[in-house]
Amino acid sequence: MSDSLLATTPRFRLFIVNTGWHSDATEVVEENLENFKALMGPIPVYALSKEQSRQVLLSDPDRVGTDPCFLLIDQHASGGQGANGYHGFRLSLGRATSKSEALEIFQTFTRFIVTHMSSTDIERQVRKRLKKEGFQNVFEVLKNVV
């Protein structure tokens, strides 16, 4: 991306893809969207319509049924769009198995973005977090064995 385009493009864009499954995750998103939007501050939040969401998910059938999905795209990350792919991360909240779990995951996701939105490399923060969660999983499994 050219420097002039970088200057006029917001660093992040957040997309909400939701085809409208009658699920706990959809309820959690609908009930907390206003709060979420307010907490995102300068990050533009785009909520796709149900029809747009269906069209988008049809381009990636593996993701069907995992919505509501959140995709945060970092437009300024090194490599940018193109051969190196896009930068950012996603949350597939439709994978949550209960309303309380969906809410907890949504809150954790929101906190993560708010905490790291000024980080120069947010993907690195995501990887660190995943590594930390991975270690916690190992300890939990070992604890169950013991």
Partner 1 sequence: MNQQVTNALTALAGLFIVTWIGFEVSRRRHKLRELFDVLDKGDRNLTLQLEKLVQENEIKPL
Q: Which is nearer to partner 1, 44 or 98 (CB)?
A: 44
CB of 131 to partner 1, least distance (A): 10
Q: Which is nearer to partner 1, 7 or 142 (CB)?
A: 142
Q: Phi/psi of residue 14, each to 5°?
A: -115, 125
Q: Which is nearer to partner 1, 62 or 118 (CB)?
A: 62
CB of 134 to partner 1, least distance (A): 6
Angstrom distance (rounded) from CA 130 to CA 137: 10
CB of 118 to partner 1, least distance (A): 18
Q: Which residues in this chain contact partner 1 in the complex, by CB under 8 A?
A: 13, 15, 17, 33, 37, 44-48, 52, 55-57, 59-60, 62-63, 66, 71, 73, 81, 85-93, 95-96, 105, 109, 123, 126-127, 130, 133-134, 137-138, 140-142, 145
For residue 67, the tally of other CB atoms under 10 A from its CB is 27
Per-residue DSSP letter, 82? S
Angstrom distance (rounded) from CA 90 to CA 73: 9
Angstrom distance (rounded) from CA 91 to CA 126: 11
CA 136 to chain centroid, in Å, comes to: 21
